[in-house]
A = this chain, B = another copy of it.
Amino acid sequence: DNQATKPPWGDLLAVPLADVLRVHLTSATTGRPLAFLDTREDWRGFYHSYARSLHAYGVRKTDMVMAAFSYGPWIGYWSGFYAAQELGCLVFPAGGLSTDQRIDALLNYPITVLGCTPSYALFLAEHAAKKGIDLAKDTRVRITWHTGEPGASIPATRARIEAAFGAQAYDLPGLTEIAAWGFECDARSGLTHVHEDYCYPEVLDEQDRPVGPGGRGELVFTSLYRKAMPLIRYRTRDVVQVADRRCPCGRTLVAFEGGVLARLDDMKKVRGIIVYPRRIEELVRPHAEVDEFQIVFRRHEGLDDILVRVDPSPSLSLSERDGLGAQLGESLRTGLGLRVSVEMTEPGALPRWDHKARRVKDERTEVPF
């Protein structure tokens, strides 16, 4: 809003514009995206803490790294690209390449580490499989890391990515406005460590009181390293759970159980029950025969209803598709406490995603609070 009133930078800039090196845009879903500015030192801080995350996954200077994104003004993998370079990795600049060209590069160069959104990782694997290529066998990828979507912190989604690449998949939660703030480590204990020396976290309940160990709340961050656009007690709208145990890796940084458990902005209410799209993904992904899916919140015969459209594996017979639909309906009813409509599409009918997926549609004109 501030930048819309005072274009292009608003009045959030705390240093002279001449001292600013980088600009990135947030992926706003509506309106003009927010432009976020960094000085050279800010930018170094962003990718240096990110490099620590990559190192915690096991990435080393002997690795060759592909960050598979468009190299537009999205900070998520630009900072990852710089982080990999800071570790001394050989980086393959993959902008402007088609999915076929990226697969070709994975086959022909000794690329051992791949960064991309979870949705794009699954799309790459599906696309390769159609061409008879098994990325797990035919490439040298050993580590993948994922940001932009929470997928890699959802066990079934992670398992699917790991099987597709024959690699270990890691979640990297981050926010343009704050930092690539967290990472899982190779102890794989289910905990997300926070770079609290770069950004100070608070987790607050609905009355803005700090929650204790084991408690859930909204994550609030203060950036400690950024001079161009410093943010104090920035409400992330992300829900996390403070860990009440130590990670076996020995790190003493603040940690959360799992990654970002929910986005407050994504919360939906259906017949009085709160539903997060992430929870639906957690319930759908364990069904290996689901290639892609879509979640539609709609008003059906006067009642709020959830429709899950499922794009089944082409290997299923028609009766197997029916069986899958019934199983999914049962998983969703049990997991959400709500009856959910499941609809099978033809294989390949639903859109695939090369950036962040948009699998959720809300068709209701009046949304209940």
Interface-side segment among A91-99, A217-225, A241-249, A356-364: A91-99
A30-88 contacts to B (CB < 8 Å): 35, 37, 40, 61-62, 69-73, 78, 85, 88
Closest 7 CB pairs of A and B: A70-B96, A71-B95, A71-B71, A72-B96, A95-B95, A18-B62, A20-B90
> Which single residue of chain B is at the shortest CB-CB distance from A38?
B90
**A302 at interface (Cβ–Cβ under 8 A)?**
no
One digit per residue, 1 when the CB lies within 8 angstroms of any chain B CB and 0 when it does not, for chain A 316-347 equals 00000000000000000000000000000000
**Residues B90 and A22 in contact, CB atoms below 8 Å apart:** yes
For the complex with contacts A22-B90, A40-B88, 11 further pairs of A-B residues with Cβ separation under 8 Å are A7-B108, A8-B109, A20-B90, A21-B88, A21-B90, A22-B93, A23-B91, A72-B94, A73-B93, A78-B93, A95-B96
- Which residues of chain B are within 8 angstroms of A367 by Cβ–Cβ distance? none
**A110 at interface (Cβ–Cβ under 8 A)?**
yes
- Which residues of chain B are within 8 angstroms of A18 by Cβ–Cβ distance? 61-62, 88
**A232 at interface (Cβ–Cβ under 8 A)?**
no
Nearest-neighbour CB distance to chain B for A25, whole angstroms, equals 9
> Which single residue of chain B is at the shortest CB-CB distance from A93?
B73
Instruction: Give how many A residues have a beta carbon under 8 Å from the other chain's beta carbons.
Output: 35
- Which residues of chain B are within 8 angstroms of A108 by Cβ–Cβ distance? 7-8
19 contacts between A and B (CB under 8 A): A8-B108, A8-B110, A17-B90, A18-B61, A18-B88, A20-B90, A21-B89, A21-B91, A22-B90, A40-B88, A69-B96, A70-B95, A70-B96, A71-B71, A71-B95, A72-B93, A73-B92, A78-B93, A95-B96
- This chain's copy number in the assembly: 2
> Which single residue of chain B is at the shortest CB-CB distance from A94?
B72
> Which single residue of chain B is at the shortest CB-CB distance from A24?
B93
- Which residues of chain B are within 8 angstroms of A95 by Cβ–Cβ distance? 70-72, 95-96
A88-127 contacts to B (CB < 8 Å): 88-97, 108-110
- Which residues of chain B are within 8 angstroms of A78 by Cβ–Cβ distance? 93
- Which residues of chain B are within 8 angstroms of A90 by Cβ–Cβ distance? 17, 20-23, 37
> Which single residue of chain B is at the shortest CB-CB distance from A355?
B96
Nearest-neighbour CB distance to chain B for A33, whole angstroms, equals 11
> Which single residue of chain B is at the shortest CB-CB distance from A354?
B96
**Residues A72 and B97 in contact, CB atoms below 8 Å apart:** yes
- Which residues of chain B are within 8 angstroms of A92 by Cβ–Cβ distance? 23, 73
**Residues A96 and B71 in contact, CB atoms below 8 Å apart:** yes
- Which residues of chain B are within 8 angstroms of A20 by Cβ–Cβ distance? 90
- Which residues of chain B are within 8 angstroms of A88 by Cβ–Cβ distance? 18-19, 21, 40
- Which residues of chain B are within 8 angstroms of A89 by Cβ–Cβ distance? 21
- Which residues of chain B are within 8 angstroms of A61 by Cβ–Cβ distance? 18
- Which residues of chain B are within 8 angstroms of A35 by Cβ–Cβ distance? 109
Nearest-neighbour CB distance to chain B for A333, whole angstroms, equals 40
- Which residues of chain B are within 8 angstroms of A97 by Cβ–Cβ distance? 72
> Which single residue of chain B is at the shortest CB-CB distance from A20?
B90
Interchain CA distance A96-B78 in the complex, whole Å: 13
Nearest-neighbour CB distance to chain B for A62, whole angstroms, equals 5
- Which residues of chain B are within 8 angstroms of A110 by Cβ–Cβ distance? 8
Nearest-neighbour CB distance to chain B for A235, whole angstroms, equals 27
Nearest-neighbour CB distance to chain B for A232, whole angstroms, equals 24
One digit per residue, 1 when the CB lies within 8 angstroms of any chain B CB and 0 when it does not, for chain A 164-205 equals 000000000000000000000000000000000000000000
- Which residues of chain B are within 8 angstroms of A37 by Cβ–Cβ distance? 90
